[in-house]
A and B are shown apart, each in its own frame.
Chain A
């Protein structure tokens, strides 16, 4: 009888109690009969009860499993989205004394792709390669320099690629490059550093006068190299070397030289962009000259401006990845971003597009990431900060060194950095910074993107170029979603609500039995078919018969009312032939006729009033553009998809208004319509509201119709004749192409999460209202 004990808790509430009573009695009688039978019967009983219990556990577990699976959707979306908003983190991996300190002072610190090997270029033209994790020297190589010459200046190429240039005291420049060979002997990765010379192994003569070069800037490109040097006589000399390859035979070098007419005494910074088209020259006190050097023989000064407030100094300057904008770090801890923006007359001009207050101390260096639109800063107190320009986001700020920093190296993937202090200590840090491009501001606010004339909302997630600035503004997509939903509701609400009122209250029951399933069937039509018809049949049709649609909009109500009025004057015998509540049947031919007439008459009207073409007329008179796949098409198609959802629920709400309310109203002398407006609609209004909410939820999440019936351009334009791109369509279009766990992927998940939240809120609201209504009715 051990089963009794375990069940005694739920004894009284459990209907199975009676079962067990009967089992007990049957067990008792069985005991009296024979021992064999007893054991067989009780075994069977136990087996039954065991099965029952197992099934109970199984079902409870299964039930909860299903419910958990459903909830999992929400949490999984959240799980993918959350890393977007986690700030960057960094971890100190090692600290060691600088290797090969007898080889000279560091002029450049750099790291290779895998963060294993680092290199230190010194003022004595040595390259010291060392293990980034331990500081162990790997290779020390003296650059191939004529023995009698001395280094007078140094510059790294601003866009990375490992190219450096030493200016020499005879007016020539030695260009070198550090590259890394990766081999896998015995399946272990070995990185071997190599120094190469991209131009010639001999220094290139820039200043024929032969003085020491005081300052340098260079950009080595494919086949073309541009150098700018400040000569001993304080002139800025520009030299371009183009490799021209003859079809057969050797390549010849073509030299183009020019001198910039600028007083070069105060020049502190020079940068050439990646395309070798623009040259930026800045003095420490903030005077920035912006040259167009497309024609290397004749540089043109485009603009001269001051990028600082008075009393400040530029401490460091760098290109944002891609070379379209400059980062200027000053002595007050401020980094400002300047981009070349085309003005109204299409002239390029520098403009400050944003600034970051990075530190209270002076900045020592700003270093842009090589793959993204981000940068790191180091101030004089050794505090390192990581920022992203697009997102205007501070991702990291930490004291990385205790004493004044001297050199800083950011790895090509921006996931590690080296910081050398004046006391010769090197700190090696690992950075975890996966999704810097996204912030609340870049998702929802206006962002001033590089080269754009003004801040704007833009969705443009990818392009073929590596230097592309991803534009993840969800605002145009949400706008498109709401716009599509708005036009759909504009079409659906009147049609479905009026239809629901009529079907629930005025329609003959026999007809209602046909109409309701038909309209419900409409809801089951696959949206891909509606979308296909909208895109390939309705859109061209509307384009051709635009005026017809407008004529129909006016003509339909007029003809219906006219028919209703006329019906009044018909003899009673005719009227009585049609039973009450069949008006809808009578109206079908009327509506068909009116529509046909509207379309038949519209070409003539168009020729008469709109010079033969309404669309051209609209464009000429009002400047309204007409897009073939526009909001009107979406509104009608999606409205059609939404009508059944609203109709069914609203009809239920109206129909379930208790009869005694309406009967009472009618008995007091109100007309059926007065009863409808004053009694029925008022009582059913929460239900109708919930119907609209559900319809709205459906319109917001609908994918295929929007995908097929609009051009999917993420524009923000209220016009009914323009298309849009919605959140759902955007996810459907871009998701298959996005790389797993990339920022783009996570932003698309965010879009899905936003959709989920939208519909969840609307549906919950609707459901709560409906339940409340149900309780109210049951109390009435």
Chain B
């Protein structure tokens, strides 16, 4: 009876509707949580276990590695995978661990699933080391000794201290090498390329005279001398960096020499206390934010991607703000309100809903090939057939995204303008100000928070957009930043890296997705934080603004 009445009152529907809201909330928080946990957890130095287990033939094995995941599979699936009946047991499901064993150069794979039942012993010896390397991913095992020029200089217990000292020195050398390669030699290469273009230009203008030839030759020779000198320095540094090596042993007992120049970091997680772990964590986090990527983007930092994203978004903001504001001011303050403005508003609103990839297609066809192609023909005939602006690059990416976010700025600014009470404009006009003065001195300042909101929303949208960028200028690995010390400093024609594309590329195009996954989570977390932060700022400004004008109108 009660149930019947309950159903009749419509309560079940209300409960179901409430459930929809709850589900949405759970989903949002769940996703943010998932990204946060996986992204933040990656750099925590987890303990390295030494595991004794029986393989599928029942032979005892020893491996070392980090426990990264565990799950339950049905016994049938385990049986199909070839495990022994004795190890599977009688239950319907069996638990298995995912162990990151590293040592890709030796065993060929980074990860291994192991059935829990086959594990006979799992210990955490303090002397287990983790080596982060420049290639082949992490190494897990024990340190046997340190060698210099092939001769052992430290063994056993003291080896660890010696190794750490030598590693610190080697890292400094490596820093120097990088500095030389990127800065000095990079600058010379850039200058040589400019000289080549200059020569070509002179040739095209038929001004390639003997005097010019002479001048260029001396300039070139000077660079060549510098280049040789740096080359010598580099050689010496490389010899220095590779003098020492670490003798290490894997869990299975295989011994290897690893040149110290190939190592980025060495640590013993099992011997760390909470504070050293926190220190390690933050140093890794710093590295993530400030270093260049390594190993096909799957290791190291994402600095170029952060830099590229920020620079591109800033350029976009510089382009979109004036145009968006002018269009909004025209629509609200100057145009005669009527059918046409209504039509334009609908069109602008619609454009906010046009798929971003369409903007990408437009950017590629119109900006890159038509505008860029013509710019090349007019201004850079010397570099043909290599395109300068006639190829995807930073400028076109910014322009495309500016077009994409234009509706956001227009709509937000218009809303801000429409909220300004008429009395303020009339007051200003009545006091003798011209329309421009009214606009510039009273209306626009009052609407500035709205413009800010629009701009912030535009920036948030642009920072997260990937699809159009794939067509107009983003690359997986840019050798140089678009902003550097070589004239003209800001290189609008260069391709750049981008956080969103980095996620797509590392997560889906890299050869070792499993190993790269934590990095993708960390990158995602960074992007989410930036975008959520920007959006929250916009919302706060908007709310603040509404309060302000409510007071004015009252």
B326–A506 contact, CB under 8 A? no
CA A525 to CA B331, docked complex, whole Å: 30
Central interface residue in A520, A643, A731, by most chain B CB within 10 Å: A731
- Of A267-275, A281-289, A368-376, A555-563, the stretch lying at the interface with chain B is A555-563
CA A65 to CA B324, docked complex, whole Å: 11
List which A711-769 residues lie within 8 A (CB) of chain B.
728, 731-732, 735-736, 740, 748-749, 752, 755-756, 759-760, 762-764, 767-768
CB-nearest residue of chain B to A17 = B429
Please indicate the chain A residues that have their CB under 8 angstroms from the CB of B432 in the complex. Answer: 19, 22-23
Say if the beta carbon of A40 comes within 8 Å of chain B.
no
CA A673 to CA B9, docked complex, whole Å: 7
B471–A732 contact, CB under 8 A? yes
Known A-B contacts A56-B435, A521-B535; the reply to A672 vs B14 at CB < 8 A is yes
In the complex, which of the residues A71, A533, A755 contacts B34, with contact meaning CB atoms closer than 8 Å? A533
Known A-B contacts A77-B362, A612-B74, A736-B471; the reply to A517 vs B539 at CB < 8 A is yes
Say if the beta carbon of B424 comes within 8 Å of chain A.
no
- Of A103-111, A219-227, A455-463, A581-589, the stretch lying at the interface with chain B is A581-589
Known A-B contacts A16-B434, A501-B17; the reply to A588 vs B357 at CB < 8 A is no
Central interface residue in A63, A533, A586, A612, by most chain B CB within 10 Å: A63
Interface string of A497-523 (1 = CB under 8 A from B): 111011100110000000101111110
List which B432-453 residues lie within 8 A (CB) of chain A.
432-437, 439
Say if the beta carbon of A165 comes within 8 Å of chain B.
no
Say if the beta carbon of B71 comes within 8 Å of chain A.
yes
Central interface residue in B433, B434, B501, B532, by most chain A CB within 10 Å: B434
Say if the beta carbon of B524 comes within 8 Å of chain A.
yes
Known A-B contacts A76-B365, A560-B16, A587-B15; the reply to A515 vs B77 at CB < 8 A is no
In the complex, which of the residues B26, B369, B429 contacts A588, with contact meaning CB atoms closer than 8 Å? B26
CA A269 to CA B501, docked complex, whole Å: 58
A59–B329 contact, CB under 8 A? yes
Please indicate the chain B residues that have their CB under 8 angstroms from the CB of A556 in the complex. Answer: 19, 23
A63–B15 contact, CB under 8 A? no
CA A731 to CA B356, docked complex, whole Å: 11
CA A58 to CA B202, docked complex, whole Å: 41
A77–B25 contact, CB under 8 A? no
B361–A748 contact, CB under 8 A? yes
CA A544 to CA B12, docked complex, whole Å: 32
- Of A140-148, A421-429, A443-451, A693-701, the stretch lying at the interface with chain B is A693-701
Interface size on B, residues (CB 8 A): 108
- Of B185-193, B343-351, B480-488, the stretch lying at the interface with chain A is B343-351
Please indicate the chain B residues that have their CB under 8 angstroms from the CB of A731 in the complex. Answer: 357, 360-361
CA A503 to CA B536, docked complex, whole Å: 21
CB-nearest residue of chain A to B392 = A736
List which A517-563 residues lie within 8 A (CB) of chain B.
517-522, 524-533, 535-537, 544, 556-557, 560-561, 563
List which B376-412 residues lie within 8 A (CB) of chain A.
403, 406-407, 410
A532–B503 contact, CB under 8 A? yes
In the complex, which of the residues A73, A561, A671 contacts B12, with contact meaning CB atoms closer than 8 Å? A561
Say if the beta carbon of B35 comes within 8 Å of chain A.
yes
A59–B28 contact, CB under 8 A? no
Interface size on A, residues (CB 8 A): 122
In the complex, which of the residues A532, A533, A740, A752 contacts B358, with contact meaning CB atoms closer than 8 Å? A752
Please indicate the chain B residues that have their CB under 8 angstroms from the CB of A64 in the complex. Answer: 330
Say if the beta carbon of A494 comes within 8 Å of chain B.
yes
Known A-B contacts A77-B361, A535-B508, A603-B74; the reply to A498 vs B17 at CB < 8 A is yes
Please indicate the chain A residues that have their CB under 8 angstroms from the CB of B365 in the complex. Answer: 76-77, 80, 749
Central interface residue in A23, A70, A506, by most chain B CB within 10 Å: A70
CB-nearest residue of chain B to A770 = B349
B535–A561 contact, CB under 8 A? no
Say if the beta carbon of A708 comes within 8 Å of chain B.
yes
CA A762 to CA B353, docked complex, whole Å: 9
- Of B132-140, B162-170, B267-275, B462-470, the stretch lying at the interface with chain A is B462-470
List which B287-342 residues lie within 8 A (CB) of chain A.
322-324, 326-327, 329-331, 333-335
- Of A47-55, A180-188, A325-333, A357-365, the stretch lying at the interface with chain B is A47-55
Say if the beta carbon of B517 comes within 8 Å of chain A.
yes
Say if the beta carbon of B489 comes within 8 Å of chain A.
no
A63–B334 contact, CB under 8 A? yes
Say if the beta carbon of A627 comes within 8 Å of chain B.
no
CB-nearest residue of chain B to A568 = B6
B531–A732 contact, CB under 8 A? no
Known A-B contacts A515-B21, A731-B357, A759-B354; the reply to A67 vs B344 at CB < 8 A is yes
Say if the beta carbon of B143 comes within 8 Å of chain A.
no
In the complex, which of the residues A606, A647, A762 contacts B74, with contact meaning CB atoms closer than 8 Å? A606
CA A77 to CA B349, docked complex, whole Å: 19
CA A105 to CA B10, docked complex, whole Å: 95
CA A59 to CA B350, docked complex, whole Å: 23
In the complex, which of the residues B77, B426, B460 contacts A15, with contact meaning CB atoms closer than 8 Å? B426
CB-nearest residue of chain B to A674 = B10
Known A-B contacts A66-B406, A70-B348, A526-B463; the reply to A676 vs B334 at CB < 8 A is no
Known A-B contacts A518-B28, A524-B535; the reply to A704 vs B323 at CB < 8 A is no
CA A592 to CA B27, docked complex, whole Å: 11
A55–B535 contact, CB under 8 A? no
Please indicate the chain A residues that have their CB under 8 angstroms from the CB of B74 in the complex. Answer: 603, 606-607, 612-613
CB-nearest residue of chain B to A564 = B15
Please indicate the chain A residues that have their CB under 8 angstroms from the CB of B407 in the complex. Answer: 70
Tell me the minimal C-beta distance from B401 to chain A in angstroms: 13
B464–A525 contact, CB under 8 A? yes
User: Chain B contact residues: over half helix, strand or loop, or mixed?
Assistant: helix
B27–A526 contact, CB under 8 A? no
CA A727 to CA B357, docked complex, whole Å: 10
B406–A70 contact, CB under 8 A? yes
B531–A506 contact, CB under 8 A? no
Known A-B contacts A498-B20, A561-B12, A588-B25; the reply to A529 vs B323 at CB < 8 A is no
Tell me the minimal C-beta distance from B169 to chain A in angstroms: 39
Known A-B contacts A19-B433, A526-B500, A526-B527; the reply to A612 vs B75 at CB < 8 A is yes
CA A643 to CA B23, docked complex, whole Å: 11
CA A76 to CA B463, docked complex, whole Å: 26
Say if the beta carbon of B199 comes within 8 Å of chain A.
no
Known A-B contacts A532-B520, A763-B349; the reply to A63 vs B331 at CB < 8 A is yes
A51–B434 contact, CB under 8 A? yes
CA A244 to CA B526, docked complex, whole Å: 64
CA A19 to CA B330, docked complex, whole Å: 21
Tell me the minimal C-beta distance from B410 to chain A in angstroms: 8
Say if the beta carbon of A702 comes within 8 Å of chain B.
yes
Please indicate the chain B residues that have their CB under 8 angstroms from the CB of A16 in the complex. Answer: 429, 434-435
Central interface residue in A515, A587, A674, A768, by most chain B CB within 10 Å: A587
Please indicate the chain A residues that have their CB under 8 angstroms from the CB of B322 in the complex. Answer: 62
A502–B504 contact, CB under 8 A? no
Closest 5 CB pairs of A and B: A673-B10, A701-B355, A63-B330, A526-B464, A612-B76
28 CB contacts below 8 A, A to B, read A16-B435, A51-B434, A55-B439, A59-B326, A62-B326, A69-B403, A69-B406, A502-B18, A518-B25, A524-B461, A526-B527, A528-B504, A529-B464, A556-B19, A560-B15, A564-B6, A565-B3, A568-B2, A603-B74, A612-B75, A612-B76, A643-B24, A703-B357, A732-B357, A755-B358, A756-B354, A759-B354, A760-B354
**A76-B362, A676-B10, A701-B358 known, 11 other contacts, Cβ within 8 Å:** A19-B432, A62-B327, A69-B406, A494-B20, A496-B24, A529-B528, A591-B23, A603-B93, A673-B9, A673-B11, A694-B353
